[in-house]
Structure 1
Amino acid sequence: MSTPKPPKGYFNILYFASAGSFTSKNVEALPAPLPLSKLFATLEERYKGIKESVLDNSLVTINLTYVDLPEGEEDDASGEGPVIIQEGDEVAIIPPVSSG
């Protein structure tokens, strides 16, 4: 399955497993740029309850690279400043997968 390219000024967010079930979507385009620290708040505004139900235990990738979500709104300790999701980026929400 190929993912459609996001419209100009947007990035794609991919929802896997329970994230896709919660949103009833596999992919969605959101306006860019967006600070990574604001991603979960933005999704919570769209999908009430998703942060506690899905996001708090999920991994996040930007362009297939795992990223650590900032604890607060301030810059990270590395001094590199905040991570900004850019136009055309692909963000994935990857909930934990249970095995059985």
Structure 2
Amino acid sequence: MTPKPPKGHFNVLYFASAGSYTTKNVEALPAPLPLRKLFDTLEERYKGIRASVLNHSLVTINLAYVDVPDGEQQDGEAAEQEIIIQEGDEVAIIPPVSSG
């Protein structure tokens, strides 16, 4: 069972190569965080993770798949619909998995 994140935080679950890269299965990050800043935030913590893992991964928030927009500022209608990761949310980074 995943531990509940501390007050003011959300959990990031790292699967497969994401867990190998970070050496963690779960990590709490401060909330709220715009989804478009998630990859930038993780890249600051783990240099090179974006190219090695994140750009090829699926992302869920509370078990719902989401498309992570690039970090550039949005305008107009897109900004109004921006997803914000909230306190207590669970974000999963799911890299492609191959079997042989």
> Normalising by the residue count of structure 1, what TM-score does the alignment of the two structures yield?
0.92
For these two proteins, the number of residue pairs brought into alignment is 99
> Normalising by the residue count of structure 2, what TM-score does the alignment of the two structures yield?
0.92
Amino acid at match of 1:52: A
Structure 1 alignment gaps of length 5 or more: none
CA deviations 1:54-94 (Å, max 9, x no partner) are 00000000000000111343158667421000000000000
Aligned counterpart, 1:31: 30
Structure 2 alignment gaps of length 5 or more: none
Please provide the CA RMSD for this pair. 1.6
Structure 2 vs 1, CA of residues 43 and 79 (structure 1 numbering), >3 Å: closer, same or farther?
closer
Amino acid at match of 2:40: A
Counting aligned pairs with the same residue, the percent is: 76
Aligned counterpart, 1:87: 87
Aligned counterpart, 1:10: 9
Superposed, 1:9-88 pairs within 5 Å as: 9-71=8-70, 72-74=72-74, 80-88=80-88
